[in-house]
Structure 1
Amino acid sequence: MIALAPAPAAAIDDAIDDALSRIRGRADALGEGFSELGGAIARAAAGGKRFRPALVAASFEAFGGTVADAPGLYSVAAAFELLHTAFVVHDDVIDHDTVRRGSPNVAGEFRLRAQSRGADASGAALLGDAAAILAGDLLLHEACRLAALADVGTAHRAALLTLIDDAVFVSAAGELADVENAVSADYADSEALLAAAHDKTAVYSFTAPLSAGAVLADASPAAIAALSDAGRHLGLAFQLADDLIGAFGTPDQAGRDSGGDLREAKRTPLIGLARETDAWSRVHEAISVAHTGPIAVREAQRMLDESGARARLVALVDESLGDARRAASDPALPPNVAELLTTIAAKIARRVP
């Protein structure tokens, strides 16, 4: 999502690889099972777009930072990738998913490990979930460790740890709200669903990494405040675009069959908006059978389209991106930062299916 020059991108990859190597080295000394967990963690963090650490570096560069003045930049950037991986691993446990990107995830690998040792289905699920929870815990620890030990000034370190603290708390609150919304007998209103969508993603994916780069570049408090405001709107737009992809995106966009969120009857802001229309009874009926196959999925997509909910959600994405662009025009932000933020907004707009 964010393109970096080859040298910074390689430096970020090296910092991530070094952290994963440390995890594997520590795990190898603690028994065969734990050694396998170290390998599973490394595989969970492999690949991906790595746009969160790219945001740290891009923000730092846009504010005129030089690596000579902040040699810990790439360690801090790597911390945000490990934080993301931790949330993904834990999210898979919450969603009972055992596959990611077409391969067994941490939980899936350890379910297979348990089965190979004669465990029944219940035992395999128990080991898989335990391994994934522990993997996420280790990744969270390593992310905080990277930030705590990064070669930065004392004041910078305190500010960075505050950003990570906020990212963890807000993301956890968003995840819990999302699950509560999913299991409640009554549907949450669209405002509550939008708040959960924001909290799950916006802070740890946009506000915190952008602000981390600014902190390391010695940006002013006014500039960081404006940047955080823009990041908040970008993060919401990104998550809402993700919800549209989950309902309407192509398999290439979604990384799975089209309409996955509809098959799983996820209570996203899209569904919250549909509930506010006169067509809700028909939409609800279509979604309730979407799990039966692609024809039912297409019918649910058609009903959501006709209800106007899809158009309303696209409008909310546009509104959030407009708010981000207005925040980017704050005079406290240097021109290069404003350009970075508008570039990100344009990339998010292109994600909308």
Structure 2
Amino acid sequence: MTPLSSTFLGERRAEVDDAIDLTIDRIAERMKPFGGAFADLGAAMRRTAAGGKRFRPTLVVAVFEALGGDADQTPALFPVAASFELLHAAFLMHDDILDHDTERRGVPNVSGEFRAYAERMGTDAAGAALLGEAAGLLAGDLLLHESQRLIALAPVTPDARERLLDLLDEAVLVSAAGELADVAHSLGDEAPEAAAVLAATHDKTAVYSFAAPLRAGAVLADAGEEAERALATYGSRLGLAFQLVDDLIGAFGSAAQAGKAEGADLREAKKTALIALARASAAWPDVRAALADAHTGPIAVRRAQTALGASGARAQLESLVATSLADARAVLDGDVLPPAARTLLAALADAVEARIP
């Protein structure tokens, strides 16, 4: 999604980055006087939040302008856009704890940095893990609070502030429900229903990454309730397609596309929507046997990929992606949204489709 972010943000990227950096700097500076580990945590948060695709703030800004909003006359635009990036950063930090990950994009995350911090103090492995997870949890909490603070202090009307806070509230609530369901599905040998896995897949990403940022842009542009409802539907369907494509990439994408080893989801035995569909097929015994060996190396990963293809699960998942994209594109029919917004959203759907491995 990086090319899309660059295309639609253009010169606005610097303004988005400035709003995010200003907020992170404010938190880090407030943490400095405490000294010790807390001051170091502020520095780690600054490093972790630097860069990135800025995809969610891109959606806020791009749809705002496509709906006729004037950025130069809307000082709340970039702080509100930044709030969705901080929300994303908070969720990543908490997600890393749930997954016991100590790296992201090949470098130590906050938890990884503080594990190393504890080890330098001479702490044993259990103590290092405890400090690492505590640091990741607290960093995520601080960013989650700051995301809400940005909207609470944004220079908007009371009505717009209430609507924006409601969007953030829904995004947090739905995402939490999805994360908990995802963890529950990963436990034990009992197979969750495919519909339940698809619901969790939607809830983890679609609202906070797509529907809420798009609707926030509409609120700031004063685009009206009908346009906001259309964007909510579009974002929900596109967000599901995006996450399902991520499942395909995690199983079948190249290392360059996935940002990690090819077939990483298969190696790690993740119970994704793809696996749920395979479980419901007659070929599940063959797939299960192939997946059991996937952690052993590239040849075993290839066997698992072949078994998943033969089971029909890959084709089914691709069909679900196509249906979700068609539902999203259907929202663009008619004249509820202006031409510039329809063009933007059509390009976004095309970009999601282009990610299919």
Take 1:214 and 1:329, find their aligned partners in 2: how far apart are those partners?
18
Match of 1:133 in 2: 137
Q: Could you list the per-position Cα deviations for residues 194-248 of structure 1 after superposition, in whole angstroms to 9, with x for gaps in the alignment?
A: 0000000000000000000000000111111011101100000000000111111
Question: Residues 284, 337 of structure 1: CA spacing in aligned structure 2 closer, same or farther, 3 A cutoff?
Answer: same
Q: Is the 8 A contact 2:65 2:71 kept in 1?
A: no
Deviations 1:139-188 (A, max 9, x none): 10111111111122211111100000000000000000000000143110
After superposition, the C-alpha distances for 1:49-88 in whole angstroms (9 at most, x for unaligned) are 1110000001100110012432110000000000000000
State which of 43, 47, 53 in structure 2 corresponds to 1:49.
53
In the alignment, residue 158 of structure 1 is paired with which amino acid? Answer: E
- Name 2:66's counterpart in structure 1: 62
- The answer to whether structure 1 residue 117 and structure 2 residue 121 are counterparts is yes
Q: Distance in 1 between matches of 2:79 and 2:62?
A: 14
CA distance in 1, matches of 2:306, 2:48: 35
Secondary structure of 1:29's aligned partner = helix
Name the residue aligned to 1:271. Answer: 275
* TM-aligned CA deviation for residue 32 of structure 1: 1.9
- The answer to whether 1:78 aligns with 2:63 is no
Q: Which moved more, 1:67-76 or 1:231-240?
A: 67-76
- Which amino acid in the other structure matches residue 18 of structure 2? D
Task: Tell whether the 8 Å contact from 1:226 to 1:330 is kept in structure 2 after alignment.
Answer: no
Q: Could you tell me which of 238, 241, 248 is aligned with 1:237?
A: 241
Give the number of equivalent residue pairs. 353
**Aligned counterpart, 1:187:** 191
**Secondary structure, counterpart of 1:183 in structure 2:** coil
Whole-angstrom CA distance in 2 between matches of 1:288 and 1:43? 37
1:275, distance to aligned residue in structure 2 (A): 1.2
What's the C-alpha RMSD, in Å, of the aligned pairs?
1.0
Q: Is 1:293 aligned to 2:297, yes or no?
A: yes
TM-score, with structure 1 as normaliser: 0.98
CA–CA separation in structure 2 for the residues paired with 1:5 and 1:100: 25
Q: Give per-residue Cα distances to partners, 1:86-122, cap 9 Å, x unaligned.
A: 0001000000000111111110000000000000000
Which residue of structure 2 lines up, in the alignment, with residue 158 of structure 1?
162
Residue equivalent to 1:8 = 12
Structure 2 length normalisation: TM-score? 0.97
User: What's the counterpart of residue 339 of structure 1?
Assistant: 343
Unaligned runs of 5+ in 1: none
Q: Would the aligned equivalents of 1:189 and 1:272 in 2 still touch at CA under 8 Å?
A: yes
CA–CA separation in structure 2 for the residues paired with 1:294 and 1:28? 46
Aligned counterpart in structure 2 of residue 250 of structure 1, from 242, 247, 254: 254
Q: Which residue in the other structure is 2:101 paired with?
A: 97
Cα displacement string for residues 16-48 of structure 1 (whole angstroms, at most 9, x for unaligned residues): 000110111011111221111011111111121
Of 299, 307, 310, the residue aligned with 2:311 is: 307
Which of 22, 36, 41 is 2:40 aligned to?
36
What's the offset of the Cα at 1:330? Answer: 4.1
Determine if contact 2:9/2:58 at 8 Å carries over to the other structure: no
How many angstroms apart in 1 are the aligned matches of 2:256 and 2:14?
26
Helix, strand or coil at the partner of 2:261 = coil
Are residues 1:17 and 2:51 paired? no
The correspondence of residues 163-178 of structure 1 with structure 2, limited to 5 A, is: 163-178=167-182
Equivalent of 1:108 in 88, 106, 112: 112
Q: Residue 227 of structure 1 contacts residue 328 of structure 1 at CA under 8 Å; is this kept in 2?
A: no
Runs of 4 or more, structure 1, over 2 Å off, are 1-7
